[in-house]
Amino acid sequence: MSTLVQLDGIEVDHDGKRAVATTDLEFPEGSFTSLLGPTGCGKSTLLNTIAGFVTPSSGRVLMDGAPVTGPGPDRGMVFQHYALLPWFTARGNVEFALKRFGLPRAERRERALESLDAVGLADAAEKYPTQLSGGMRQRVALARALAAEPRVLLMDEPFGALDAITRARMQRLLTQLWQRTCTTVVFVTHDVAEALALSQRVVVMAADPGRVIADHRLADDPASDRTAPHPLHARIVAQLGTDS
């Protein structure tokens, strides 16, 4: 697979302190990579540099070989806290995100409904966020990102606020969508089991300053048996020095 996103010697400083030490990473097109580590290790900062929300203090972020200078439609973002507009329905939230493309209203509506159907919310298209459960709201957020057909889907602990059952359902849904669309996914989490269940690759990070301490390449497809402990689980827990 060819490299789609490259972090070329990037460093990030924040308030006069080194937040992320020199980092070199490549993300192949169509791959699923998890950035795993404790709070404050810089995993969200790396995600935000790819998104174009954060400018590295040194080094470059490249997308298809071209420098990233800011946010762009080729990169979609899903946050932990939905960020839905309460005065719009589920369909309206997805359509609103498509307005920047200058699409005709009918096409925006069609793409919004297709995306909501893809995440299993066709019947909830006209409901408002207050009428939806937490898992349904996160599916709207995912539909909103996918409707723009990004080449890279960036996800910042998107399931962290969900209960265990809903979280497992969302993980299965994400796996199905990724396998269907072949979108490049970079997924931030502090949950070892989640990273191993979803990913082809797990990049382990540590803090003070944020840095990569291990890079594990897994099988081509996410683990199919989510009930069995992954062989790498104990090794990664030891690398993190935690009881996660």
Q: pLDDT by residue for the chain (244 residues), tens digit each?
A: 799 999 999 999 988 889 999 999 999 999 999 999 998 899 999 999 999 999 999 999 999 999 999 999 899 999 888 788 999 999 999 999 898 888 899 999 999 999 999 999 999 999 999 999 989 999 999 999 999 899 999 999 988 878 888 889 889 999 999 998 899 999 999 999 999 999 999 999 999 899 999 999 986 555 445 556 787 888 888 888 854 4
pLDDT for position 238 = 85
What's the full length of the chain, in residues? 244
Q: Tell me the C-alpha distance between 189 and 92, whole Å.
A: 29
Query: Which residues are registered as beta bridge partners of 211?
Result: 206
* 3-class secondary-structure state, position 206: strand
Total-model pTM: 0.90
pLDDT for position 16 = 84
What is the DSSP code (8-state) at residue 210? B
Cα–chain center distance at 64 = 18
Any alpha helices (H) in 158-218, and if so which ranges? Answer: 164-181, 192-198
Regarding the domain with residue range 3-74+151-241, which homologous superfamily does it belong to in the CATH classification?
A: P-loop containing nucleotide triphosphate hydrolases (3.40.50.300)
Phi and psi, residue 19, nearest 5°: -85, -40
> What sign results for the dihedral spanned by CA atoms 128, 130, 133, 137?
positive
Domain locations in the chain as residue ranges: 3-74+151-241, 84-149
pLDDT for position 228 = 61
Q: Which residues contact 205 (CB under 8 A, 6 or more apart)?
A: 35, 36, 37, 41, 42, 43, 211, 212, 213
CA-derived radius of gyration, the chain: 18
Positions of E strands within 71-151: 75-78
Tokens of 150: 């990004």
In which residue are the tokens 């301490």 written? 213
